[in-house]
């Protein structure tokens, strides 16, 4: 080789060497850039993330390194989401979408989570939910997945559920995220604090402000311990603590303002003045101004908030709608009616993708795409209030009340749809507060229209529909779904799968409610969440695979007054009551087979005191002062204007709110003094037989079920002794069972009677209960108003090692029973009580038995001696089975006998037993 050739060869070799060295250097640089991105992300520095990500993307593209380019684009998208720029984040994700096949499993999950967060920021919760569910499934499909990523997926899913109002599902997801994060990061970490903040948000949404504030404080303590007061989690905790201070039972305005300003300073320093997080805090500072009466200051602040949101979100976003709603509420307080209506109309516009009305009278059509569906309902309610206020405040034009009614009607239809879309009962019940306020407004507006028009009945019919819609609506929906399963041809294997799921769910719910600080609570939460997801899958499976079930479940045929009247027997009147706390009025709807009448009256100042006094007199067997309470309350509930037809001898009472807690039979139709003996009191039961229903719709639903098909007669249980539970023995229940057995035998009706050890939970579960038209349980019962899941009946404990047959029949266990009963008698303490759930009514054992398949129940409102109970129960079955009287007339005659017998004439002994249902 000559010198020139040798030189060229060396030169070429040198180029190769330099090129290789450069490539190695560039690969090292790319690796360093990706590490810088990781560090900046962990330190919550989105601007730095974006700057380094751009450099990494350019270098990765130059090196044709697909994996690195994917990682850099994902980081860029995360940074854009963190900055509140979801549309740009979506553009970044689109670049790498064609490379999806090259994604690692971890990158697939990361992509879905960033995509979901972008959708959520844009207000598209349905698409966010789809992304979140895919992400969690991908994580769980990975054999050795990172727990931190699993926690992130659950956390995101919880946020989506929370945005949709599915609070129980949100709590499950956040609990799972918390457990995982404590394992990975330790208790004093920003990640764990973030989970506490999220759980606090769920508590706040359910208006459990104390629990919410406690969760936020735990988050702040964890962040301070981790020296992380500069983090987003800290700002979020401060923000939400301020909300709890502001909206709690006793608003703490100074503390709220301090928390908001602390968070605002942090967000502004990190993200800039115009960022949505800063605007969100400005909106809450406007709420503080509003609470202090500084309306002009609040409106000025809100104008800037709206301007900022509009610029950031191109004029459409739920937070912009919230700002408009708050503006409207403040304007209404200032009696600026036209401006308030216009503000709420703008809230409707900005919460929809494609709603462009020509005037303030127009409401969104069903096909319009809403970002937050629940927000549409509340905005329509605000708009209705503004129209109503304009009518009474200035216009006196009927059109304003008609527009208010139109808004309520539209909101009602959307609320029913939301209830259908909620899978779990707890999440349906969470809509109750919204429903209660909405329907109270509806009844009041209908009353206003009825007063100014000759065609009153049409408005009162609508008012009755609103009143009924806030009573036991979720229970009716649940029973309809249960019935749909029976008629839709669903295989036994699927139904058994659901039964097993619901049994296990009830078990873990009870464990968690009983012992929330048990060392295994994390495992319980995880198991419960998995079971609930399994039940959600069951619902989706039967809805998609069995069209008839879907059709029966969602059929929305509305019960009319005429249809209800056709179900009422001759001589029977239904009295449906509706308590209106906002304007302190009582609406009474009376129906017979031929009449429909409505009365509205002011509630006396002592109304609540009378109810409490009536209960206290009877529960504690007070011997004096009855006339001072029970007669005034009678006059309030049965005003002179309420003319019950003379041929009526049977009343069906549909109570509302606190009226569900008293036995109406004991009301006094005449005044008495303390010298009058109890048996001479003119109780309402001496004039009428009474039974109760949670709603008119539920009454009709139970009427339509037909007769029970079982032919096994009467099934009875009485454990008698309760040593395992530390409860007093009930020797009178043995007499009760024996006497009822004699009555039923005389009626030639078969009897299955189980007492003592044989009256166990295990045997009760194994017996074919659906073959017995009458079920009688004589035992102890406990109602837990704070935690309805812990309400229970006590049976014998057969096997102490069997954790799921522990002798306690909880509410969840009862929901899982399969009954076909004409009557269930709960001869136990307080079984007719429960938690008063706003917008739904009583939650307790009665409700559970109605769902499980009983058409009616005989239950107790307080603890009574077992001797008087045994006497009343025996007489009740004598009249029902031997004399063939209706159950309502049988219980009436039994009570009248106790009264006339004088020994048990005080209401304490006979009044607690009430008949509920068909």
User: Residue 592 — pLDDT band, cuts 50, 70, 90?
Assistant: very high
| pLDDT at residue 464 tops 60 | yes
**313-470 maps to which CATH number?**
1.25.40
- Which of 63-77, 135-149, 493-507, 586-600 is predicted least confidently? 493-507
Angle at 633 between CA 630 and CA 635, to 5 degrees: 110
Question: Which pair of tokens denotes residue 593?
Answer: 């087979």
**Residue 574 contacts residue 588 (beta carbons within 8 Å):** no
When comparing pLDDT for 838 and 286, which is higher?
286
| pLDDT at residue 56 tops 70 | yes
- Which of 35-49, 99-113, 636-650, 870-884 is predicted least confidently? 35-49
When comparing pLDDT for 456 and 801, which is higher?
456
**Of 154, 140, 136, nearest to 198 (Cα)?**
154
| pLDDT at residue 123 tops 60 | yes
When comparing pLDDT for 707 and 198, which is higher?
198
Q: How far is CA 658 from the centre of its chain?
A: 20
| pLDDT at residue 13 tops 80 | no
- pLDDT value at residue 365: 83
User: Residue 18 — pLDDT band, cuts 50, 70, 90?
Assistant: very low
In the predicted model, what is the mean pLDDT of the chain? 87
Name every residue whose Cβ is closer than 8 Å to that of residue 771 and which is 6 or more positions away in sequence: 710, 711, 712, 820
- pLDDT value at residue 6: 41
When comparing pLDDT for 351 and 482, which is higher?
351
Could you give the percent of the chain with pLDDT greater than 70?
92
**Residue 603 contacts residue 579 (beta carbons within 8 Å):** yes
DSSP designation for 781: E
- pLDDT value at residue 313: 87
| Sheet of 689-692, strand order | 596-602, 585-591, 572-580, 650-654, 689-692, 913-917, 856-860, 823-827, 774-778, 714-718, 751-755
| pLDDT at residue 340 tops 50 | yes
User: Residue 322 — pLDDT band, cuts 50, 70, 90?
Assistant: very high
Say how far apart CA 802 and CA 900 lie, in whole Å.
Answer: 48
Q: How far is CA 242 from the centre of its chain?
A: 24
Output the pTM of the full model. 0.80
Say how far apart CA 175 and CA 195 lie, in whole Å.
Answer: 8
- Which of 110-119, 672-681, 706-715 is predicted least confidently? 706-715
- pLDDT value at residue 772: 94
Handedness of CA 338, 339, 344, 348 (dihedral sign): positive
User: Residue 843 — pLDDT band, cuts 50, 70, 90?
Assistant: low
β-bridge pairing 751-755 and 714-718: parallel
Main-chain phi, psi angles of 608, to 5 degrees? -65, -35
Could you give the percent of the chain with pLDDT greater than 90?
47
| pLDDT at residue 443 tops 90 | yes
User: Residue 522 — pLDDT band, cuts 50, 70, 90?
Assistant: low
**Of 308, 265, 313, nearest to 283 (Cα)?**
308
Bridge partners of 825, per DSSP, are 776, 858
Say how far apart CA 401 and CA 390 lie, in whole Å.
Answer: 9
- Which of 62-71, 203-212, 400-409, 485-494 is predicted least confidently? 485-494
| pLDDT at residue 411 tops 70 | yes
Find the largest Cα–Cα distance for the chain. 138
- pLDDT value at residue 602: 95
Say how far apart CA 686 and CA 108 lie, in whole Å.
Answer: 73
When comparing pLDDT for 492 and 51, which is higher?
51
When comparing pLDDT for 469 and 336, which is higher?
336
| pLDDT at residue 788 tops 90 | no
Q: Where are the beta strands (DSSP E) in 171-258?
A: none
Say how far apart CA 527 and CA 176 lie, in whole Å.
Answer: 10
Topology classification of domain 705-884: Rossmann fold (3.40.50)
User: Residue 840 — pLDDT band, cuts 50, 70, 90?
Assistant: low
Say how far apart CA 664 and CA 610 lie, in whole Å.
Answer: 13
Q: What is the pLDDT of residues 261-315, one digit of tens each?
A: 999 999 999 889 989 999 999 999 999 999 999 999 999 999 999 999 999 888 9
- pLDDT value at residue 524: 76
- Which of 9-13, 217-221, 358-362 is predicted least confidently? 9-13
- pLDDT value at residue 15: 44
**What is the residue-wise DSSP string for 845-872?**
HHHHHHHHTBSEEEEESS---HHHHHHH
- Which of 53-57, 82-86, 480-484, 668-672 is predicted least confidently? 480-484
- pLDDT value at residue 17: 43
Q: How far is CA 409 from the centre of its chain?
A: 22
| pLDDT at residue 571 tops 90 | yes
- pLDDT value at residue 696: 92
- pLDDT value at residue 5: 46
| pLDDT at residue 9 tops 60 | no
Arithmetic mean of pLDDT, 14-40: 67
Residue whose structure tokens are 């997926």: 153
User: Residue 423 — pLDDT band, cuts 50, 70, 90?
Assistant: low
| pLDDT at residue 675 tops 90 | no
Q: What is the pLDDT of residues 742-770, one digit of tens each?
A: 999 888 889 999 999 999 988 998 898 99
- pLDDT value at residue 718: 93
**Residue 379 contacts residue 348 (beta carbons within 8 Å):** yes
């Amino acid at each position: 080789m000559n010198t020139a050739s040798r030189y060229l060869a060396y030169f070429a070799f040198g180029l190769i060497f330099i090129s290789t060295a450069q490539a190695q250097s560039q690969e090292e640089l790319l690796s360093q850039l990706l590490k810088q991105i990781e560090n900046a992300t962990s330190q919550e520095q989105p601007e730095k993330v974006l700057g380094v990500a751009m450099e990494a993307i350019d270098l990765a593209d130059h090196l044709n390194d697909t994996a690195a380019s994917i990682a850099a684009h994902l980081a860029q998208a995360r940074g854009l989401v963190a900055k509140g720029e979801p549309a740009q984040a979506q553009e970044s994700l689109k670049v790498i979408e064609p490379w999806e096949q090259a994604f690692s499993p971890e990158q697939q999950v990361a992509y879905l989570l960033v995509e979901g967060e972008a959708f959520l920021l844009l207000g598209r919760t349905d698409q966010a939910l789809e992304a979140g569910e895919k992400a969690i499934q991908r994580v769980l499909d990975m054999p050795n997945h990172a727990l931190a990523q699993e926690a992130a997926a659950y956390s995101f899913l919880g946020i989506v559920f929370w945005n949709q109002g599915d609070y129980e599902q949100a709590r499950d997801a956040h609990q799972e995220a918390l457990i995982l994060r404590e394992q990975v990061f330790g208790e004093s970490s920003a990640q764990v604090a973030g989970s506490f903040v999220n759980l606090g948000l769920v508590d706040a949404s359910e208006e459990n402000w104390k629990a919410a504030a406690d969760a936020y404080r735990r988050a702040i303590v964890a962040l301070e311990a981790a020296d992380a007061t500069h983090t987003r989690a800290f700002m979020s905790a401060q923000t939400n603590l301020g909300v709890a201070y502001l909206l709690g039972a006793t608003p703490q305005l100074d503390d709220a303002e301090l928390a908001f300003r602390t968070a605002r300073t942090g967000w502004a320093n990190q993200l800039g003045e115009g960022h949505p997080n800063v605007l969100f805090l400005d909106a809450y500072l406007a709420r503080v101004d509003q609470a202090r009466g500084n309306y002009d200051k609040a409106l000025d602040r809100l104008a800037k908030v709206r301007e900022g949101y509009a610029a950031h979100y191109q004029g459409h976003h739920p937070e912009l709608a919230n700002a408009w709603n708050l503006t409207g509420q403040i304007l209404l307080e200032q009696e600026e009616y036209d401006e308030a209506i216009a503000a709420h109309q703008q809230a409707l516009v900005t919460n929809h993708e494609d709603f462009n009305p020509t005037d303030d009278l127009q409401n969104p059509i069903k096909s319009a795409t809403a970002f937050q569906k629940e927000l549409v309902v509340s905005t329509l309610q605000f708009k209705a209030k503004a129209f109503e206020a304009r009518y009474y405040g200035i216009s006196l034009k009927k059109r304003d009340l008609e527009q208010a009614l139109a808004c309520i009607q539209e909101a009602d239809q959307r609320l029913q749809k939301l209830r259908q879309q909620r899978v779990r009962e707890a999440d349906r019940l969470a809509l109750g507060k919204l429903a209660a306020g909405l329907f109270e407004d509806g009844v009041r507006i209908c009353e206003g229209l009825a007063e100014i028009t000759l065609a009153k009945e049409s408005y009162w019919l609508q008012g009755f529909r609103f009143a009924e819609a806030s009573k036991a609506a979720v229970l009716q929906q649940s029973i309809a779904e249960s019935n749909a399963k029976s008629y839709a041809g669903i295989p036994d294997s699927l139904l058994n799968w659901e039964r097993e799921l619901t049994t296990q769910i009830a078990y873990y719910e009870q464990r968690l409610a009983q012992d929330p600080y048990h060392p295994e609570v994390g495992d319980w939460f995880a198991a419960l969440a998995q079971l609930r997801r399994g039940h959600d899958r069951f619902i989706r499976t039967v809805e998609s695979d069995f069209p008839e079930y879907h059709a029966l479940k969602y059929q929305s045929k509305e019960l009319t007054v005429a249809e209800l009247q056709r179900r009422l027997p001759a001589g029977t009147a239904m009295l449906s009551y509706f308590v209106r706390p906002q304007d302190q009025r009582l609406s009474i709807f009376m129906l017979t087979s031929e009449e429909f009448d409505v009365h509205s009256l002011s509630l006396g100042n002592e109304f609540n005191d009378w109810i409490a006094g009536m209960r206290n007199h009877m529960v504690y067997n007070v011997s004096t002062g009855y006339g001072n309470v029970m007669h005034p309350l009678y006059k309030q509930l049965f005003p002179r204007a309420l003319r019950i037809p003379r041929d009526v001898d049977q009343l069906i009472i549909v109570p509302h709110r606190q009226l569900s807690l008293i036995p109406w039979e004991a009301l006094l139709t005449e005044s008495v003094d303390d010298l009058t003996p109890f048996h001479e009191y003119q109780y309402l039961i001496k004039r009428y037989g009474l039974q109760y229903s949670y709603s008119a719709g539920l009454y009709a639903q139970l009427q339509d079920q037909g007769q029970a098909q079982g032919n096994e007669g009467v099934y009875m249980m009485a454990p008698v002794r309760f040593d395992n539970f530390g409860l007093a023995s009930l020797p009178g229940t043995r007499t009760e069972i024996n006497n009822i057995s004699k009555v039923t035998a005389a009626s030639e009706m078969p009897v299955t009677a189980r007492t003592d050890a044989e009256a166990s939970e295990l045997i009760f579960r194994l017996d074919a209960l659906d073959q017995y038209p009458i079920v009688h349980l004589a035992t102890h019962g406990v109602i837990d108003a704070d935690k309805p899941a812990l309400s229970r009946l006590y049976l014998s404990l057969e096997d102490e090692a069997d954790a799921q047959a522990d002798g306690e029949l909880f509410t969840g266990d009862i929901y899982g029973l399969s009954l076909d009963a004409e009557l269930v008698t709960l001869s136990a303490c307080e079984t007719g009580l429960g938690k008063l759930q706003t917008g739904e009514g009583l939650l307790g054992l009665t409700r559970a038995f109605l769902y499980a398949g009983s058409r009616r129940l005989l239950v107790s409102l307080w603890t009574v001696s077992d001797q008087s109970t045994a006497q009343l129960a025996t007489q009740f079955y004598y009249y029902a089975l031997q004399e063939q009287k209706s159950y309502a007339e049988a219980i009436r005659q039994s009570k009248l006998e106790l009264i006339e017998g004088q020994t048990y004439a005080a209401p304490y002994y006979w009044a607690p037993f009430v008949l509920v249902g068909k």
